[in-house]
Homo-oligomer: A and B are copies of this chain.
């Protein structure tokens, strides 16, 4: 392929600032990409309510045109959406798309960046790549509240809950296929890039049915990759050891909820959400989004750090097979961070400890342009 179609979606609030910065930087690269714009998020929710009326089932954060745009393009770059989970009928756009497009891999690397470092003493080098399962587990939306009476009878363990007031149950569902494909994706990745070790984080010592199954499948798949060391450990221990011995982690594979928590922890050890890229990858398409939120309070003020979306764009370039361009982009970001002349407020405040961070802060656009210049 020598040209790619990429769907881009600003989303909500500071998502617009990020996307504007990203497009500015990417323009400097002369990429073989046609950009197709689409919308989603809270803004679409409000629009659909205005159109169909509150309570209409067609109200959604993801309009049909957006679904079409994602389907017909090679990949999607998304900035950030605003979620208001208290609102009746509201469904998170990203959760919907993970299911709709069966984006079973949540790919979350956490790597110390030049000029950013880690909050840990001794500045360990961190380079962890987290494969988080992205469609099952407690994200399966198989839930009961209150629990129907007959559901107390299906397992003797439910007996003791009969006298405890209202009972809510969320099913943690793991399938063989679901476990196998995320584990295999992690091993395939490790093999392709020459990584040496994969750690599966679980609580098979306690949650035997689901995590027990995942652990079994992990070691079964591992047999196909004898050159890669396969280790399993308790997810609570991972939460500690990521801080104590982050260099011990290479590739990590975890189910949805553990992956959610552990990838956020790892990202904080390498600069936090302002720098954390994330890919939702399936068999037919992929949606890339920075892990950061849409920071509504700074919307349209161009304050937010563009590095998250730029590193996300790098991830997307790699996915498309444009690895050289991806490497160029990553290098340029690193240069701007090391030079330290054009930095957004959060970098000055949290990593440079600049007492004048308010005054010295560059805007999203200025920092994105600085990266563009390096290209």
Which positions in A face B, CB cutoff 8 Å?
Answer: 83, 85, 92, 95, 119-121, 138-145, 148, 151, 154-155, 157-158, 161, 163-178, 180, 203-213, 235-237, 239-241, 243-244, 257-258, 260-265, 267-269, 272-273, 350
Given the contacts A158-B142, A206-B95, A175 and B171 also touching, CB distance less than 8 Å: no
Partner of A273, one of B139, B172, B240: B240
Residue of B nearest to A123 (CB): B121
Could you tell me the distance in whole angstroms from the C-beta of A243 to the nearest C-beta in chain B? Answer: 5
Partner of A209, one of B158, B168, B212, B264: B168
Contact B142 A164 (CB under 8 A): no
Partner of A175, one of B167, B211, B212, B257: B167
Give the number of times this chain occurs in the complex, counting copies.
Answer: 2
Could you tell me the distance in whole angstroms from the C-beta of A138 to the nearest C-beta in chain B? Answer: 5
Could you tell me the distance in whole angstroms from the C-beta of A305 to the nearest C-beta in chain B? Answer: 14
Complex formed: what's the CA distance from A112 to B38 in Å? 49
Could you tell me the distance in whole angstroms from the C-beta of A8 to the nearest C-beta in chain B? Answer: 25
Contact B257 A240 (CB under 8 A): no
Contact A178 B206 (CB under 8 A): no
Contact A261 B235 (CB under 8 A): yes
Complex formed: what's the CA distance from A238 to B216 in Å? 30
Contact A92 B205 (CB under 8 A): yes
Contact B264 A239 (CB under 8 A): yes
Residue of B nearest to A214 (CB): B168
Residues of B contacting A151 in the complex (Cβ-Cβ under 8 angstroms):
154
Residues of B contacting A260 in the complex (Cβ-Cβ under 8 angstroms):
203, 236
Contact A165 B172 (CB under 8 A): no
Residues of B contacting A237 in the complex (Cβ-Cβ under 8 angstroms):
264
Given the contacts A206-B139, A207-B170, A145 and B213 also touching, CB distance less than 8 Å: yes
Complex formed: what's the CA distance from A139 to B160 in Å? 13
Complex formed: what's the CA distance from A120 to B95 in Å? 34
Residues of B contacting A205 in the complex (Cβ-Cβ under 8 angstroms):
83, 85, 92
